[in-house]
Structures are given as C-alpha cells and as structure tokens.
Amino acid sequence: MIGFEVLARDGAARRGRLTTAHGGVETPAFMPVGTAGTVKAMTPEGVAATGARIVLGNTYHLMLRPGAERIAALGGLHRFMNWPHAILTDSGGFQVMSLAARRTIAEAGVTFRSHLDGSLYELTPERSIAIQHLLGADITMALDECTPYPAPPEAVENSMELSMRWAERSHLAFVERPGHGIFGIVQGGVHPDLRLRSATKLTAIGFDGYAVGGLAIGEGQTTTFAVLDATVPALPEHRPRYLMGVGKPADLVGAVSRGIDMFDCVLPTRSGRTAQAFTRRGVVNLRNARHADDPAPLDPECPCPACTNYSRAYLHHLSRAGEILGSMLLTAHNLQYYADLMTTMRAAIEAGSFPAFVTAFESEG
C-alpha cells in the first residue's frame, strides 16, 4: 500500500504527502506525462529539476512497444527510463477506447488492433494489472471504459457499470507490496447520480486512491467542475484523489479548490513543442513576430533554463526555424510553470490563504 496523509486544509483544498516505494510526492501534484517511457523533449534529470517527483507512463503504448516483458527483463520501467522517483501508469483504457473502429468491447475486456502494425491484442483487467506489475509502477490504475461524450444516459450507465465490474477484477488481480498501490476510477459521464453510484461502488471495493476519469473530453470547464462538486465529497477523506487528463492552469486551480490532489495532462509538453509558453501573465506564442527583437526573458520570475539563459528573441528564432532546442527549452519552461503553480498552491493552503491566492490568480488570468 502507498501512504497518504493530509497535512493541511483550507476549505476543500488539501495539502498532503503521498509516500511510494520510490519516494514521497507533495500534493497537490502535477504529473508530467511520459507516455512511452519518456517525457517528450526532456531528460529525466531535467524533469526532476522542475521539482516533479512522479511521472505518468502508459500501459497501452508500452505493451505495444517495446513490450512489458522486455521492460521487466531489463529491470523495470524505473531503471529502463532512468527515473528514480515515483511512476503512475495509466491502464490503457483511454487509449484503447480512442481506437474506435479498431476495437471491440466485451465483458471480458477489449480486443483491439494496434495503431502501429494492426496486430490483434486483448486487454482484460487482469492483463492490464499484470502489465503494470511488470513495469513496476508505484501506482497502478484499474482498467476502465472511458465513456464518450456526449452519450445517451443509458449508454453512460451501462459503461459505468462495466467499469465497476472491471474495477473489482482489477483490484483482485493487483499484487499487494509495500509502497505500491492501485487506484479505482470514477465514471458516470456528466450525470451526478451515476458518479455517486460509481464512487460508492469503488469505495466499497477499497482502493488505495480514487481517480475521476471521463472528463476533459469536450464537456467544458463549468460541467467538469459541476461533476467534481458532486463526486469529490463522496470519496474517502484519507485517500488521494486524482483528476485524470486535466488540464489548463485554471482547471487545476479550480479542481484543487474542490479537493483534488493529483493531475496529469499532455498540455504543457505539447504546448512546448508548438511554441506556446505558460507564464504568470498568460499564454505566450513565441512564433509571433513581436518577439523577434525582444531581448527580455520569457518570464523574469521563472528559474527555468529558457528564462534564465535566453531571450524571447532567441526562443522566437528557434521556434520559427524549427530547431529542436526550442521545443526542449519551452517544454522545460512549461513543466516548471506547472510545478511552481503546485508549489504556490501548497504554500497557500498551508498558510490558510488559498482563497486569496485564487482571487489573485483569476485576476492575473
């Protein structure tokens, strides 16, 4: 089992500490996404330098290439990717569901064809958990079906119930060992009654943590927050809460306000590769011509290499020239921004000044 303690509260916002086999994680925490065993455009040392102490890997991509058994034979995912800190692995459910015409869902699991070469695979709850065990994940995720949005209420209900049956099978398949845990995933679309039923079922099974899945897929921030308002109070107080695949800085602040502890999203790394930089004064597009002659740093308050060593003019040049260094520097900057945002929120919760922080953040945005 993983350890988790809530160190401070300010309203619904929580400041906590997660303890895993590969070290502690201060929460609220943002997990950089390392889908295929790497955070794109970053070295592991660079990711750690931002302050991140947990990253996300993905069962679907790693099972296809290079293969979970191969990674296990090479010492596990931590050694394979040279990451000594914690790793959470997504079960692969979201990626499989996004294959649409390439997959078939049944009670046993999902049969699908690889997007790489068309090979046929079957992913059951038991196989997903076994793969994550082979990878050596500190936090394993139960296999679930990510319900499309929008969908008829009956379809959402059937999908949620299937995910709950898969959750029970995932929990039974998980091998308990010190410092490792398994999270269940709340589903139910945008329907509060279904979300509450899902949360109740997962709590009865008894997971080490609870994720809220099936959001940030087109429903909009207002609806996302409404789902969290209905769902989070039903989750156990003493276990970590993880909002999957979210999101923009304002999404993170709003979710922390509602009691969420953990996040992941490809946005900061993907934006870094498209010359989009998050700053304390909003998003900056470094491809814009107005930066061509600007000797100022991207963000004078940011300690990342992009801001301490280079000008906006140089970052603009790199992005316009398509140089790899531009993606590297802006990805590092964005991950630093997200890590600093988490640090600031933790400090505000500890100080009992989180509402004031939210007001200031919203006024800057």
**Which pLDDT value is given to residue 96?**
74
User: Which residues contact residue 198 at a Cβ distance below 8 angstroms, ignoring those fewer than 6 apart?
Assistant: 160, 163, 164, 186, 187, 188
Q: In degrees rounded to 5, what are phi and psi of residue 339?
A: -65, -40
pLDDT at 261 over 90: yes
* Average pLDDT value for residue range 92-97: 80
**Token digits of residue 69:** 């058994």
pLDDT-derived band at 97 (thresholds 50, 70, 90) equals confident
* Average pLDDT value for residue range 161-185: 98
Q: CA-to-CA distance for 94 and 253, rounded, in angstroms? A: 24
Q: Give every strand in the sheet of 110-113, ordered side by side.
A: 103-105, 110-113, 120-123
**Which pLDDT value is given to residue 102?**
82
* Residue 90 is among the residues annotated as catalytic for this protein: yes
pLDDT at 101 over 80: no
Number of neighbours of residue 126 by Cβ within 10 angstroms: 17
**Which pLDDT value is given to residue 55?**
98
**Residue 283 pairs with which residues in a beta bridge?**
278
* Residue 261 is among the residues annotated as catalytic for this protein: no
**Which pLDDT value is given to residue 141?**
98
Nearest to 299 by CA among 271, 278, 321, 322: 278
* pLDDT-above-70 percentage for the chain: 99
Selecting among 10, 90, 138, 208, the annotated active-site residue is 90
pLDDT at 212 over 90: yes
CB environment 10-30: b (16+ within 10 A), e (fewer): beebbbbbbbbbbeebbbbbb
Q: How many residues does the chain have?
A: 365
**Token digits of residue 363:** 């006024």
Selecting among 138, 264, 299, 340, the annotated active-site residue is 264
Q: CA-to-CA distance for 22 and 71, rounded, in angstroms? A: 18
Architecture of the domain spanning 3-265? Alpha-Beta Barrel (3.20)
User: Which residues contact residue 282 at a Cβ distance below 8 angstroms, ignoring those fewer than 6 apart?
Assistant: 364, 365
**Which pLDDT value is given to residue 148?**
87
* Average pLDDT value for residue range 109-138: 95
**Which pLDDT value is given to residue 143?**
97
pLDDT at 361 over 90: yes
pLDDT at 3 over 90: yes
Ranges for all domains in the chain classified under CATH 3.20.20.105: 3-265
* Average pLDDT value for residue range 185-190: 98
